[in-house]
Amino acid sequence: SRSLNLAVIPGDGIGQEVVAQGLKVLSAVLPQDVKLETREYDLGAKRWHRTGETLPEAELDALRHHDAILLGAIGDPSVPAGVLERGLLLKLRFAFDHYVNLRPSKLFPNTATPLAGRPEIDFVVVREGTEGPYTGNGGSLRTGTPAEVATEVSVNTAYGVERVVRDAFARADARPRRKLTLVHKNNVLVHAGHMWKRIFDKVAEEYPAVTTDYLHVDAATIFFVTQPERFDVIVTDNLFGDILTDLAAAVTGGIGLAASGNINPTGEFPSMFEPVHGSAPDIAGTGKADPTATVLSVALLLRHLGHEAEAVRVEEAVAADLAARGESRPGPEGSAGGSLRTTDEIGDALAVRVAG
Amino acid sequence: SRSLNLAVIPGDGIGQEVVAQGLKVLSAVLPQDVKLETREYDLGAKRWHRTGETLPEAELDALRHHDAILLGAIGDPSVPAGVLERGLLLKLRFAFDHYVNLRPSKLFPNTATPLAGRPEIDFVVVREGTEGPYTGNGGSLRTGTPAEVATEVSVNTAYGVERVVRDAFARADARPRRKLTLVHKNNVLVHAGHMWKRIFDKVAEEYPAVTTDYLHVDAATIFFVTQPERFDVIVTDNLFGDILTDLAAAVTGGIGLAASGNINPTGEFPSMFEPVHGSAPDIAGTGKADPTATVLSVALLLRHLGHEAEAVRVEEAVAADLAARGESRPGPEGSAGGSLRTTDEIGDALAVRVAG
Ligand SMILES: CC(C)[C@H](C(=O)O)[C@@H](O)C(=O)O
Ligand SMILES: CC(C)[C@H](C(=O)O)[C@@H](O)C(=O)O
């Protein structure tokens, strides 16, 4: 019989609550013959406060042997900015070579969007996950004095760019509209930007059926709100992808619905699936967190592990649940708050739908 | 009698057309006793094609002696990305130490916004203009080979950050709502981000009446579309400011209305005023370009030179003109195109209003 050996990192704030719903739906949808084993890892703010550790080597080693990782959310106001992000979340993304940070954006029927006219939105951002300004390169000199200089170095390699661009072309080629947009800022960041563009244009030759397009990141934000229907697949750098996918989430019903996969396409390391939203400490424990983003991340996890039919079942369950809500439900961040059902009730409803 | 000695750089595409309207309105609004002298500088794509020059020393020297610069738009698809941006536009911003890149965003009544519910939007972005990832630091190694490495270095100094943060606090303190939001990404870009936050917090102590706030740039984009009314003054780095102000323009009626001032607050060098939009070569010469962003930039120019009453007259004329349009008019970029009046007719209408 088959098995799914899953690492679970609930993390901070609402992480625990949403991950519980993700697991509930996963158990309900998995075929009977797939044995689900989970091991929970106690990582995040509490652990750091207790031991000063963010991600000890032993745990990194152990995590490596799972089929996949499900992560809730990392971060707490009691921890200095960057400690957990860089010491845990980004450390995992880098250690496990998650070079494809996959973030689909879809405006489901009956969900709230701040955009008038409810445009059709259904695109995927392929965000590079292991390079750019996220490498931790840089430093500061004379820190805290009036003579301080602080640098941040965006590191980009042909190796790193080509593999993610190839992944994006393959994804675009497999979608009905077959369109791929490169987003960068090559009129200012000429070194990295020109390299991205050169590699993009070169790989494009192998995909004659894919229509290509280039946008500067600033212009892309305009189109996200004025013509989001023009996008199909977007490939972009780590930082631009971070910014664009929050905006994409905002226009497609809020960050409470946005899923992501940190994917290592070679399978050498486990891929990691997490909602795009943060730990939302302000609503932790209130039952107001929407677990939908986590459940949709579980769908990405299923698809990545080859359970395509189950992934589709989860996505259809979410679509049906959203359609039945009859009310708009803002997400945990950037939201006016409030919802009619609790985190748990939504998880239950989705588990029933996928099982049924 | 007083004088205004203005340098005019029409630039490329629709630059010439919109600058002509800006000058028309400027002439109409200036007090009789202010003698307006203009000198036009032939810089941009045509000049580059003809001579290979972007901004020769002689012209840079001459520009320095004007009271201010009015710029239309720079850039053309026939010129490699970055050549004119870095060789001309950014060169001017850096040479003239335009460390305050001022970009007001206001949703005027009766203008089209993609946001449902028409939130109240009236904020100003104070974008740092001389540092960050715009310094041109970085390079590429083994360019064009599979072993290429390309870097972009964001350079940030306490000197540069403190002066722009001070400017932003002073602006926030002078506005009724007295609120200042710092936008950065200090959970990832910890060196630069922590320096920005430290300096921001320190200067805040001198402005007890100003409410302060911090947002990561990704979260800021969410609030731009879900709660733009929460912003009053925003201070941010050069690249984040670039991205955020295009998005701000998109939600406040389009890039056809967005004005900007590249300001050297010390007065050592001339400040430069320009619409946020680009050269829009696709509509150049068609009379479809909206000159309003340039006219609003002229208002910023007037205010900077101490002509406050005239600046207000221009802004009131624009508000009245927009209210009278009775139709939404998309801007030159990201637009569905089309308008009922030509560039020239809008300029004429505004000139009549400011004179009247
Ligand atoms: C928490 C933070 C480090 C992270 C990022 O910047 O990648 C988050 O914003 C995301 O998008 O997953
Ligand atoms: C043209 C480009 C260099 C410029 C920038 O990135 O600053 C533009 O986008 C702007 O916002 O003024």
Q: Which residues of A are catalytic?
A: 134, 185, 218, 242, 246
What is the pLDDT, as a whole number, of residue B1?
66
Residue listed under structure tokens 């099982």: A355
Please identify, in words, the CATH class of the domain defined by B1-99+262-356.
alpha beta
Q: Which CATH superfamily is domain A113-137+152-252 in?
A: Isopropylmalate Dehydrogenase (3.40.718.10)
What is the pLDDT, as a whole number, of residue A109?
85
The answer on whether B167 is annotated among ligand-binding residues is no
Of A186, A223, A251, the CB nearest to B81: A186
Q: Choose the residue to mutate in B242, B243, B247, B273 for probing ligand 2, maximizing ligand atoms within 8 Å of C-beta.
A: B242
Q: What residues have CB less than 8 Å from A242, skipping those under 6 apart?
A: A127, B185, B188, B218
Mean pLDDT in residue range A41-54: 98
* Inter-chain CB proximity B143 and A223 less than 8 Å: no
How many residues appear in chain B?
356
The answer on whether B281 is annotated among ligand-binding residues is yes
Of B114, B148, B222, the CB nearest to A255: B222
Ligand 1: which residue has its CA nearest to atom 7? A242
Q: Which residues of B84-106 are buried (b: 16+ CB within 10 A; e: fewer)?
A: bbbbbbbbbbbebbbbbbbbbbb
Q: What is the separation, in whole angstroms, between the first and last Cα of chain A?
A: 23
Pocket of ligand 2 (CB under 6 A): A 187-188, 218; B 75, 85, 89-90, 242, 276
Asked whether residue B328 carries a pLDDT value surpassing 70, the answer given is no
- Expressed in angstroms and rounded, the spacing between residue B83 Cα and the centre of ligand 2 is 13
Confidence of residue A356 (pLDDT cuts 50, 70, 90): confident
**Contacts of A340-343 spanning 24+ positions with Cβ under 8 A:** A342/A287, A342/A288, A343/A14, A343/A17, A343/A18, A343/A21, A343/A287, A343/A288, A343/A289, A343/A290, A343/A291
Please identify, in words, the CATH class of the domain defined by A1-99+261-356.
alpha beta
Ligand 2: which residue has its CA nearest to atom 2? B85
pLDDT digits (tens, 9 = 90+) for B128-180: 999 999 999 999 999 999 999 999 999 999 999 999 999 999 999 999 999 99
Q: Which residues of B are catalytic?
A: 134, 185, 218, 242, 246
Mean pLDDT in residue range A39-60: 98
Of B145, B146, B333, the CB nearest to A222: B333
What is the pLDDT, as a whole number, of residue B327?
53
* Inter-chain CB proximity B150 and A186 less than 8 Å: no
Of A39, A42, A63, residue with least CA distance to A51: A42
Average pLDDT, chain B: 95
- Expressed in angstroms and rounded, the spacing between residue A242 Cα and the centre of ligand 1 is 6
* Inter-chain CB proximity A153 and B138 less than 8 Å: yes
Q: What is the separation, in whole angstroms, between the first and last Cα of chain B?
A: 23
Which atom, in ligand 1's list, is nearest to the CA of A241? Answer: 11
Please check whether the two domains, A1-99+261-356 and A113-137+152-252, share a CATH topology.
yes
Taken in order B229, B232, B233, B235, is the CA torsion positive or negative?
negative
Percent of chain A clearing pLDDT 90 (strictly above): 92
Percent of chain A clearing pLDDT 70 (strictly above): 96
* Inter-chain CB proximity A191 and B75 less than 8 Å: no
Asked whether residue A218 carries a pLDDT value surpassing 90, the answer given is yes
DSSP for residue B87: I
Confidence of residue B11 (pLDDT cuts 50, 70, 90): very high
pLDDT digits (tens, 9 = 90+) for A127-182: 999 999 999 999 999 999 999 999 999 999 999 999 999 999 999 999 999 999 99
Ligand 2: which residue has its CA nearest to atom 7? B242
Confidence of residue A193 (pLDDT cuts 50, 70, 90): very high
pLDDT digits (tens, 9 = 90+) for B88-130: 999 999 999 999 999 999 999 888 899 999 999 999 999 999 9
* Cβ atoms of residues B258 and B276 within 8 Å: yes
- Expressed in angstroms and rounded, the spacing between residue A134 Cα and the centre of ligand 1 is 10
Nearest Cα of chain B lies from the Cα of A304 at a distance, in angstroms, of 26
Which atom, in ligand 2's list, is nearest to the CA of B241? Answer: 11
- Please tell me which residue of chain B has the smallest CA distance to A251: B225
- Expressed in angstroms and rounded, the spacing between residue B150 Cα and the centre of ligand 2 is 21
Q: CATH topology for B114-251?
A: Isopropylmalate Dehydrogenase (3.40.718)
* Inter-chain CB proximity B225 and A251 less than 8 Å: yes
pLDDT digits (tens, 9 = 90+) for A306-336: 999 999 999 999 999 999 886 554 444 433 3
Q: Please indicate whether residue A85, judged by its CB atom, sits closer than 6 Å to ligand 1.
A: yes
Taken in order B73, B100, B168, B266, is the CA torsion positive or negative?
negative
Residue listed under structure tokens 């403190």: B162
* Inter-chain CB proximity B153 and A159 less than 8 Å: no
Top pLDDT among B1 and B107 is at B107
* Cβ atoms of residues A217 and A245 within 8 Å: no
What type of residue is A207? Y
Write down the domain spans for chain B.
1-99+262-356, 114-251
Where is average pLDDT lowest: A80-94, B64-78, B106-120, B221-235? B106-120
- Please tell me which residue of chain A has the smallest CA distance to B196: A150
- Please tell me which residue of chain B has the smallest CA distance to A85: B187
Asked whether residue B331 carries a pLDDT value surpassing 90, the answer given is no
Asked whether residue A104 carries a pLDDT value surpassing 90, the answer given is yes
What is the pLDDT, as a whole number, of residue B333?
39
Single pTM value for the model: 0.95
Asked whether residue B336 carries a pLDDT value surpassing 50, the answer given is no
